[in-house]
C-alpha cells in the first residue's frame, strides 16, 4: 500500500500531465499503485484541485469493446471535474488528445443520496434515487502513452481516462417506461460515418451500470450524491474522431446531443 505522501506525489504528477497535455510511459515504480484501493485513493485527490464539487461520475469499460480499448477485464469508476463538463453544442479541443474517440452515453442525474453501506444496492433502489436521464458524449483521454498496458490500478489513478464530458438535454419522462437495454441509438461523425449502438452494450443495461457504480463506490466508502450526474459508459464502439469533426448522439425520441472538436 502506498503512503499518503506517495499517493499525493502520484496525483501531482498525473494532474500536471493532464493540464499540460503530456504523456508518461507509467508512474515511477515507487509511486505506482498495485491495487484498485491505491488507484482510487490517488484519484480521490483530484477533488482538492477544484473550487467546485465534482460534477459527477463516469464508468469506463462497461462494454467488451471498451474493456479491450483500455486493456482491462471489468469496469472502472472515475470522477467528472466540473471544469471538464460542457453543454451540448460546445466546442472542445482535441489537439493534445491521445485517444481521439467520442463515446455516446446515457447519464443519470441523482435526486437523492446513495450513501456507502455494506448491503449492496439493488437496481430498484438505485433507479428510485434517479431524478432524470440526460444524453451525453464523453471525450476521454489518458495520461499514459500506452494506456492499453497500464493496468487497472494506474488507470484508476488516472481518473479512469476522464477528460471532457458533454452534458446534453434532459430526456422526456417517457424514458422510464422504455427498456433501455434494447433501446437503439446512433453515433454520427458528420459527413464521414455513423455507428449504431444500444443500451444493452453497457453491462447489459445502463441501469445495471448505475447500480454497479453505487456498489463499487460503497466498497471504497464513497456515495453518490443528489444532484450528481453518473454517466454509464459508451453504448457503441467508440467513435474515432479528428479535429474539425462534429459528433452527434442521436437517441431518437429521447433527443440528440452534439459537440464540435477543434
Q: What are the structural domains, with CATH classification, of the chain?
A: 4-261 (3.90.850.10)
Residue 188 reports pLDDT greater than 80: yes
Tell me the average pLDDT across 121-133: 98
- Which residues, including other chains, have CB under 8 Å from residue 178's CB and lie 6 or more apart? none
Residue 164 reports pLDDT greater than 90: yes
DSSP 165-230: EEEEEEPPGGGGGS-GGG-EEEEEETTTEEEEEEGGGTTTSHHHHHHHHHHHHHHTT--B-TT-EE
Reported pTM: 0.97
Q: What is the pLDDT of residue 235?
A: 96
| pLDDT tens-digit readout, 192-233 | 999 999 999 999 999 999 999 999 999 999 999 999 999 999
Query: Residue 134 — very low, low, confident or very high, per pLDDT cuts 50/70/90?
Result: very high
First to last CA, the chain: 41
Q: What is the pLDDT of residue 64?
A: 79
Q: What is the pLDDT of residue 73?
A: 87
DSSP 12-66: HHHHHHHHHT--BSS--GGG---SHHHHHHHHHGGGGG-SS---EEEEE--SHHH
Q: What is the pLDDT of residue 12?
A: 98
Torsion of CA 38, 76, 66, 225, to 10 degrees: -150
Q: What is the pLDDT of residue 68?
A: 84
Q: What is the pLDDT of residue 63?
A: 81
Q: What is the pLDDT of residue 184?
A: 98
Smallest CA-to-CA distance from 77 within 163, 164, 159 is with: 159
Sign of CA dihedral 246, 168, 103, 85: positive
Q: What is the pLDDT of residue 257?
A: 98
Tell me the average pLDDT across 110-128: 98
Cell of 163: 477528460
**Residue 169 — left, alpha, or beta (φ > 0 → left; ψ -120 to 50 → alpha)?**
beta
pLDDT > 90 in the chain, percent: 95
Query: Residue 65 — very low, low, confident or very high, per pLDDT cuts 50/70/90?
Result: confident
d(CA 111, CA 83): 22
- The CB-based long-range contact list for 6-12 (8 Å cut-off, 24+ gap) reads 6/30, 6/31, 7/38, 7/41, 7/42, 7/45, 8/45, 10/42, 10/157, 11/42, 11/43, 11/45, 11/46, 11/157
Amino acid at each position: 500500500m502506498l503512503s499518503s505522501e506517495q499517493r499525493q506525489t502520484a496525483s501531482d504528477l498525473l494532474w500536471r500531465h493532464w493540464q499540460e497535455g503530456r504523456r508518461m510511459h507509467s508512474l515511477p515504480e515507487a509511486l505506482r499503485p498495485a491495487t484498485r484501493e491505491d488507484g482510487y485513493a490517488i484519484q480521490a485527490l483530484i477533488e482538492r484541485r477544484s473550487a467546485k464539487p465534482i460534477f459527477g461520475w463516469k464508468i469506463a469499460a462497461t462494454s467488451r469493446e471498451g474493456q479491450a480499448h483500455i486493456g482491462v477485464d471489468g469496469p472502472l469508476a472515475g470522477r467528472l471535474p466540473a471544469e471538464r463538463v460542457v453543454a451540448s453544442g460546445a466546442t472542445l479541443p482535441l489537439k493534445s488528445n491521445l485517444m481521439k474517440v467520442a463515446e455516446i452515453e446515457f447519464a443519470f442525474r441523482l435526486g437523492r443520496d446513495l450513501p456507502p453501506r455494506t448491503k449492496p444496492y439493488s437496481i430498484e433502489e438505485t433507479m428510485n434515487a434517479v431524478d432524470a436521464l440526460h444524453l451525453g458524449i464523453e471525450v476521454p483521454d489518458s495520461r499514459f502513452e500506452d494506456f492499453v498496458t497500464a493496468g487497472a490500478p494506474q488507470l484508476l489513478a488516472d481518473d479512469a481516462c476522464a477528460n471532457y464530458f458533454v452534458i446534453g438535454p434532459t430526456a422526456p419522462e417517457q424514458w422510464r417506461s422504455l427498456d433501455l437495454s434494447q433501446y437503439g441509438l446512433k453515433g454520427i461523425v458528420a459527413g464521414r460515418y455513423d455507428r449504431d449502438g444500444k443500451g444493452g452494450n453497457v453491462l447489459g443495461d445502463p441501469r445495471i451500470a448505475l447500480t454497479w457504480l453505487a456498489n463499487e463506490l460503497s466498497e471504497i466508502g464513497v456515495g453518490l450524491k443528489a444532484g450528481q450526474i453518473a454517466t454509464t459508459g459508451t453504448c457503441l464502439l467508440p467513435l474515432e474522431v479528428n479535429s474539425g469533426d462534429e459528433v452527434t448522439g442521436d437517441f431518437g425520441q429521447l433527443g440528440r446531443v452534439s459537440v464540435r472538436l477543434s
